[in-house]
Structure 1
Amino acid sequence: MAVWEDISKHRTGDVPLVVGGDFNCIMAKEEKKCGKAFHFNPAANDMASFMMSNDLVDPSYIGPAFTWSNNKDIIRSRIFSRLDRFLLSSSILDSFQGLKVKHLTRLASDHCPILCSFLGEVKMVYSHWIKFEDVRASYPMAWQLVKQKWQNKIKELTQLKEDLDREIKILQEVECSPNGLSEAQAEALGFKCAKVKWIEEGDGNTRFFHSLASARRRAKCIDAIKQGDGTVVTEQKDISKVFYEFFKRKWHG
């Protein structure tokens, strides 16, 4: 916990923050292979709280899924984990759509190097066509149907938020008790708080919404693709050519 307090203490105002290195912490079961089963322990909870309080995001990456291995000679005894990562302020991801994190080749060390690069602006081509059939708006019942559906949806979301608030309150009361929360309860509390934040800000014109939209754009962007001969292509024009040639052979023989 001390390292998170030190970083938070030295942060100045809203200055964007980049933190990278070996955090020796696993945040999800997908970040570990072999060894003991993953549990959301207090260390992971402290790291998650640090990320939330400082508006930090763990961006997607290119390369091997795991950054550390115990390098055991016996294959059955080998353990793989993702311990190394970059944490960045969401404002950085909003400003640099071309930001990339790469897990490089692990050689002599038991950790693989990680690289965060700020590339030039990535131009994405969007379709300007909006598909809408005007004839639907000519039916009076169409407006009433849309209004009714949205009213029902708003009621459902309101009820869901109230239920989540009630469940969070119960868990927070247990958290303050002498025994505290179990690992499963601590993980559930984090998920429920995230759901409330989404309900409150997810579709609003907020920084939270724009950060999510930016994340979706980055997720849709294809940074690299492996060709049939095993070579990896990273240039956008070459990636487009690979797709073109693939479907050309597929559809035209």
Structure 2
Amino acid sequence: MEMVDSIGASGGLGIMWKKNLVAFTCHTKMQNWMAGKVRALSLNIEFFIINVYGPIPTDKKRLVWQEIECFLNNQDEKHIIIGGDFNTILYSTDKSGGIKTIRQPQRDFANWINNNNLLEIRTEMGFHTWNNRRKGFSNIAETLDRLFLKGDLTDLKTELKTTVFLWSGYDHYSMLLELMGEAKKTGCPFKFEMMWFTHEDFLRNIQKWWKDSVFEGSKMYCLVSKLKEIKHKLLEWNKKKFKNIFEEKSRIEKEMETMNNIVMQYGMTLETYEAEKKLLCEYKGILAREEIHWKHKSRETWLEDGDKNTKFFHNNVKMKREVNKITQIINDSDQIITYQNLIAEDATKYFENILNNWDHSDLPNNRILLNNIPKLITKGDNQVLNYKITHEEVKTALAQFQGDKAPGLNGFPAGFLQKCWHMLGDEVTNALESA
């Protein structure tokens, strides 16, 4: 183990490891943080780890952030994991109970994360990491402990999993970061479901979540961070309210079948009438959501609302999936490859070879070639393109998009902004102006 002694009853840091699993070399020891190089022997991967214990006074926090930032700027390591007790929350939603205000330590912490391009490793279980263990209105819980990654997660070649353990008698909860071996295939990206619009609470929830999400930084950074926060909220809300529409459909069908048998055997009563009416209403809602779900996936726009077209949309999606599926390829040696992992490897090598074998000496000639391409943008067009972006211009352009067509890189389709423009429009326009 390596450690930094405490001062009185506060502070103190320690890093412990098993020699047969990990090789560790201590690099830097400071009063509130320590850093070292870790090599996981079984996984054969290396990275730096920084263990942090944030001080309570604001001025001392700033000094610690500056020390760590200076250390990061002088490192050539590809991946650095930073974690510990930062003694400050990041968002207003990180606190339960007590007064919720944006304080200077939060602003400093947010700016430090932004300046160093840190990616937070979110926990799969648990949320708050500190609790004062008091009763009723006096109870306060906060997220003071976090884990961050500096570097590209896709290049780490391992899957990271963070868990918050159950309370073990202390005011802080323990956190576990696991390296899960070779990284699994990346999960499906966030996909906005058009059926969410059908729920009566959708707009109210978006307005509340948008108002509660407070970030510090540039206008574009705040906009992007808010949209990321909305993603997580929507996915949680979807699990609670919409659940799995196919499982819900199956459940309601079984309950309707049971109710039908009761009516056939004992006749219709006021109680069974009301229960059957409620089930039928739920069933119609599920069918409508199912149709919206498959229509969105099929990308078909020529059909109008009216008849139920769920089967058509579903078949259309299946056909597109079959067409887009790569079942086999022929490599440079004229061999047929059918295994998916080998197909992925061969395709990656093919494009890597193209990039690596490109003759960079032709770059000046390429510039000459570009100079001979006619200029299609006139000075007048260029002047118009450089005009200041206005709120009405963005709103008009957005209204011309097909709401349920292909989403942007953040997973939100144009329909989301169209529906929520009265809440998000000003911030979207301000972010575009500052970009």
Identity across matched positions, percent? 23
Q: Normalising by structure 1, what TM-score?
A: 0.50
Q: 2 CA distance for matches of 1:105 and 1:95?
A: 29
Kindly tell me: are residues 197 and 105 of structure 1, through their superposed partners in 2, closer, same or farther at Cα, counting changes over 3 Å?
closer
Name the residue aligned to 1:56. Answer: 118
Offset at residue 30 of structure 1 (A): 0.8
Please tell me whether residue 250 in structure 1 is matched to residue 313 in structure 2.
no
Preserved contact between residue 32 and residue 38 of structure 1 (Cα < 8 Å): no
Name the residue aligned to 1:117. Answer: 178
Q: 2 CA distance for matches of 1:38 and 1:5?
A: 24
Q: 2 CA distance for matches of 1:36 and 1:219?
A: 22
Q: 2 CA distance for matches of 1:78 and 1:220?
A: 27
1:194 pairs with one of 221, 239, 261:
221
Offset at residue 61 of structure 1 (A): 1.4
Preserved contact between residue 104 and residue 114 of structure 1 (Cα < 8 Å): yes
Secondary structure, aligned partner of 1:111: coil
Q: 2 CA distance for matches of 1:251 and 1:54?
A: 51
Offset at residue 98 of structure 1 (A): 2.6
1:23 pairs with one of 82, 86, 89:
86
Preserved contact between residue 27 and residue 44 of structure 1 (Cα < 8 Å): yes
Name the residue aligned to 1:175. Answer: none
Q: Normalising by structure 2, what TM-score?
A: 0.31
Kindly tell me: are residues 188 and 252 of structure 1, through their superposed partners in 2, closer, same or farther at Cα, counting changes over 3 Å?
closer
Could you report, residue by residue, the CA deviation over 1:21-68 in whole angstroms, capped at 9, with x for unpaired residues? 1101111111000011231x2212222222122211113212222110
RMSD (Å), alpha carbons: 4.0
Please tell me whether residue 71 in structure 1 is matched to residue 98 in structure 2.
no
Kindly tell me: are residues 42 and 94 of structure 1, through their superposed partners in 2, closer, same or farther at Cα, counting changes over 3 Å?
farther
Secondary structure, aligned partner of 1:102: strand
Preserved contact between residue 131 and residue 139 of structure 2 (Cα < 8 Å): yes
Offset at residue 252 of structure 1 (A): 6.1
Could you report, residue by residue, the CA deviation over 1:152-205 in whole angstroms, capped at 9, with x for unpaired residues? xxxxxxxxxxxxxxxxxxxxxxxxxxxxxxxxxxx776151516999xxxxxxx
Kindly tell me: are residues 125 and 57 of structure 1, through their superposed partners in 2, closer, same or farther at Cα, counting changes over 3 Å?
closer
1:1-253 counterparts in 2 under 5 A? Answer: 1-11=62-72, 12-15=74-77, 16-39=79-102, 41-72=103-134, 74-92=135-153, 95-96=156-157, 98-119=159-180, 120-123=182-185, 190-194=217-221, 246=247, 249-250=250-251, 253=254
Q: 2 CA distance for matches of 1:51 and 1:67?
A: 19
Q: 2 CA distance for matches of 1:71 and 1:125?
A: 37
One-letter identity of the residue aligned with 2:91: A
Secondary structure, aligned partner of 2:219: helix
Name the residue aligned to 1:237. Answer: none
Offset at residue 116 of structure 1 (A): 1.4
Q: Which has the higher contact order (CA 8 A, sep 6+)?
A: 1
One-letter identity of the residue aligned with 1:95: L
One-letter identity of the residue aligned with 1:62: E
Offset at residue 89 of structure 1 (A): 1.2
Q: 1 CA distance for matches of 2:157 and 2:248?
A: 32
Kindly tell me: are residues 6 and 220 of structure 1, through their superposed partners in 2, closer, same or farther at Cα, counting changes over 3 Å?
same
Q: 1 CA distance for matches of 2:216 and 2:186?
A: 37
In structure 1, runs of 5+ residues without a counterpart are: 127-186, 199-211, 226-242
In structure 2, runs of 5+ residues without a counterpart are: 1-61, 189-213, 255-435
Offset at residue 125 of structure 1 (A): 7.5
Q: 2 CA distance for matches of 1:18 and 1:98?
A: 13
Name the residue aligned to 2:271. Answer: none
Secondary structure, aligned partner of 1:5: helix
Rg larger in structure:
2
Q: 2 CA distance for matches of 1:57 and 1:188?
A: 15
Kindly tell me: are residues 196 and 219 of structure 1, through their superposed partners in 2, closer, same or farther at Cα, counting changes over 3 Å?
closer
Offset at residue 9 of structure 1 (A): 2.5
Secondary structure, aligned partner of 2:172: coil
Offset at residue 80 of structure 1 (A): 0.5
